[in-house]
Amino acid sequence: MADNIMRSPPQIIHSEPRPEAYRQMIEDAARNIHLRKQSTALLLCYASHANHFRPAMKIITAETGIAPQDISKVRQR
């Protein structure tokens, strides 16, 4: 029965103000730690939204190209 309950997506909470060059900083860090392309895209998607934004699967899929059924796997990586 608990599986039928709709859960809210997790909130995005940035610990500090986002720097102007955040995209380049994330891309450089991702390259240095050898993140996969999908993981980098998901991280950039999360970083581009404001605090307390709750991105739905549809938004994440539209911005990253990651299939809804794969978002959880990419997030865990």
Q: How confident is the model over 8-25, as pLDDT tens digits?
A: 777 888 888 888 898 999
Q: Dihedral of the CA atoms 9, 18, 14, 55 (nearest 10)?
A: 0
pLDDT score recorded for residue 14: 82
CA–CA gap between residue 28 and residue 1 (Å, rounded): 44
> Taking the domains of the chain in order of start, what are their residue ranges?
21-76
Residues 24-65 pLDDT 10s: 999 999 999 999 999 999 999 998 888 888 888 999 999 999
Alpha helices, DSSP H only, in the chain? 22-32, 37-47, 57-64, 71-76
CA–CA gap between residue 45 and residue 63 (Å, rounded): 7
pLDDT score recorded for residue 1: 46
pLDDT score recorded for residue 9: 74
Region 60-75 average pLDDT? 94
